[in-house]
Amino acid sequence: MIKAREVRLIGDDGEQLGVITLAEARQIATERETDIVEVSPGVDPPVCRLMDYGKFKYQQAKKDRESNKSQKATGGLREVRMRPKIGQHDIDFKLRTAKRLLAQGSKVKILVMFRGREIAHPVLGRELLQNVLETLGDAIKVERGIMMEGRNMTVILSPGKIQKEEKKEKEEKAEKAEKGEKDAQNENE
């Protein structure tokens, strides 16, 4: 709902229609079969635009979906959970999972959950996370260091330079293989 008496109107094709009264703006909108959308309410007079609002909302939703897809494709933040009294085999298994996620390009949050009286011994969790960081070595980059969050101790890791270079090499090899297949198909035709 536009409350101002005068508005700066922009046409649906981006043309400046100038500062006009709200009634005139509504009349122009009905003539052009568009909606008036207030894009900048903080300025005086407010800036309004003529557009198909339903189409605008659809385009915005489409952009949001695309950005969510690209965020999921890059991996976002994944979580690997542990307890302070975890066995060595279980640590190895969790580390394999973390390495796989990092290789896919995801950031990984390693979380040590303290339950009950375990919270009295945060040193155990810190030692466990230090051990994890040493084991992963140069393959990772520590995004955020070890810190307590309530009853959990966390560290956030991202893929290191080595893995990024390996990923680029794999992509380049895949592209070369595709080009080779296309060249072979072109020769056969």
How far out from the chain centre does Cα 187 lie?
Answer: 42
Q: Over the stretch 45-70, which tens digit does the pLDDT of each residue have?
A: 899 999 998 988 898 899 888 877 76
Q: Look at the block and give the residue holding tokens 């560290």.
A: 155
Tell me the pLDDT of the chain (189 aa) as tens digits: 788 889 999 988 888 989 999 999 999 999 999 998 888 888 888 999 999 989 888 988 998 888 777 666 556 789 999 999 999 999 999 999 999 888 888 889 999 999 999 999 999 999 999 999 998 887 788 888 999 999 999 999 988 765 555 666 666 776 777 766 655 565 666
pLDDT at position 3 = 81
Cβ contacts of 153 within 8 Å, gap of 6 or more = 111, 112, 114, 122, 125, 126, 129, 146, 147
- pLDDT at position 189, please? 60
Residue 62 main-chain phi, psi, to 5 deg: -65, -45
> What CATH number belongs to 73-164?
3.30.110.10
Q: What DSSP element (H or E) covers 133?
A: helix 122-136
Cα gap 184→57, rounded to integer Å: 46
What pLDDT does 86 receive?
92
CATH of domain 6-55: 3.10.20.80
Tokens of 127: 């030692």
Q: Where are the domains of the chain?
A: 6-55, 73-164
Cβ density class 113-148: b for 16+ within 10 Å, e for less: bbeeebbeeeebbbebbeebbeebeebbbeeeebee
